[in-house]
């Protein structure tokens, strides 16, 4: 499409909007999401998964417009949203009552004998991390 044709179409669209008013409506969009990450400090053994819901306001002519916006939001916003979620959760984990945390254990476990040297090393490692 040429620049001249583009300008003409834009001008016509502007005139139509001025005649009929703003064609956009406001939509509330609620969506589930899951964030999952590992903790580098323990060699990425610990995995944290957060499942939640969020909501945003979007503006468009119809639900198709809103879906197109969400597609771009989700494609381009993963890193900034990840940062937001990490900050939000990090600020609030101290207020979580451990009595209200669900803990489940896996099916397998490993049993390894320890001598006094390994026990001392293990104890010092735990105390250094506290």
The 10s digit of each residue's pLDDT in 5-29 is 888 888 888 877 777 788 899 999 9
Specify the pLDDT at position 130. 61
Ramachandran quadrant class, 129 (left: phi over 0; alpha: psi -120 to 50; beta: rest): alpha
Provide the angle, in degrees to the nearest 10, between the axes of the packed helices 63-76 and 78-92.
80
**Per-residue pLDDT at 1 exceeds 70:** no
- What does the mean pLDDT of the chain come to? 90
- For the chain, list the strands marked E by DSSP: 25-38, 47-60
Burial class (CB in 10 A: 0-12, 13-18, 19+), 16: exposed
The 10s digit of each residue's pLDDT in 62-119 is 999 999 999 999 999 999 889 999 999 999 999 999 999 998 888 888 888 999 999 9
């Amino acid at each position: 499409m040429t620049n001249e044709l583009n300008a003409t179409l834009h001008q016509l669209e502007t005139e139509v909007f001025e005649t009929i008013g703003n064609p956009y409506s406001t939509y509330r969009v609620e969506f589930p999401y899951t964030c999952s990450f590992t903790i580098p400090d323990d060699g990425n053994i610990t995995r944290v998964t957060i499942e939640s819901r969020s909501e945003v306001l979007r503006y468009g002519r119809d639900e198709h417009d809103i879906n197109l916006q969400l597609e771009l939001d989700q494609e381009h916003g993963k890193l900034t949203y990840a940062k937001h979620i990490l900050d939000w959760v990090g600020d609030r984990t101290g207020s979580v009552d451990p009595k209200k945390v669900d803990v489940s254990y896996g099916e397998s476990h490993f049993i390894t004998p320890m001598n006094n040297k390994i026990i001392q090393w293990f104890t010092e490692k735990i105390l250094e991390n506290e």
